[in-house]
Amino acid sequence: MTELVFATNNRNKLKEAEGILPDNFLLLNLDDIGCTAELPETADTLEENALMKARYVSEHFACNCFSDDTGLLVDALDGRPGVFSARYSGPEADSDKNIDKLLGEMEGKTMRKARFTTVIALILDGEEYLFEGSVEGTITEKRMGAKGFGYDPVFVPEGYSESFAQMSAEEKNRISHRGRALGKMQEFLMERSLRR
């Protein structure tokens, strides 16, 4: 059994990753390895941020691990908040304040296309791998639903009428940016297991 740490403090992300690893991998979280540090994510691309978090954990705890970084890219805002999605509304940012700021900036805009992109950085036996997943959609005019986390209440994926915050976890996972990136990592891990 190969242990693989998901380098995140976000319980929602952990839940989304559960059940996705092949049987010969065991998913651990930061509590399991005694990591209480705030992971660094000060770069200006999703790739570098994901790598930064995974490298921190891999170097300090000598383990196989992966980390993700996600951005919401809104066309009418020239791709903002993008890599700054977590801190969009300033140093005291939380999801509620971020959504308020986003809805404020989008007020009166008819072009509401956006996408979520997740980049996963995996460090396995000292080698680094990247996996990316995206989902297209639109920004709503007001909050819809109370499930999920982050910007979920104001994002409706293409082809659906419900926001991510109105969907079950399974349904979101099936079509979401993170679900797709995790799926690619899962495929890679399965193929790699078969080759051994």
Structure tokens at 58: 């891999």
DSSP 66-107: EEEEEEEEEGGGTT-EETTSTTTT-TT--HHHHHHHHHHHTT
Task: Return the residue of 178, 180, 182, 185 that touches ligand IMP, per CB under 6 A.
Answer: 178
Nearer to ligand IMP (CB atom), residue 51 or residue 148: 148
Is 137 a binding residue for ligand IMP by CB under 6 A? The answer is no
Residue 113: strand pairing partners: 138
Name which of residues 78 to 107 contact ligand IMP (CB under 6 A). Answer: 85-86, 95, 98
Name which of residues 49 to 78 contact ligand IMP (CB under 6 A). Answer: 68-70, 72
Could you give the string, one character per residue 4-43, with x where binding to ligand IMP holds by CB under 6 A and - elsewhere? Answer: ------x---------------------------------
Kindly determine how many residues on this chain lie close enough to bind ligand IMP according to the rule CB under 6 A. Answer: 17
Nearer to ligand IMP (CB atom), residue 141 or residue 191: 141
Residue 136: strand pairing partners: 115
> Phi and psi for 127 in degrees, rounded to 5?
-100, 145
Say if CB 70 and CB 59 are below 8 A apart. no
- Buried b / exposed e over 17-39, threshold 16 CB at 10 Å, is beebbbeebebbbbeebebeeeb
Q: Catalytic residue positions?
A: 69
What is the contact surface with ligand IMP in residues (CB under 6 A)? 10, 68-70, 72, 85-86, 95, 98, 148-152, 164, 176, 178
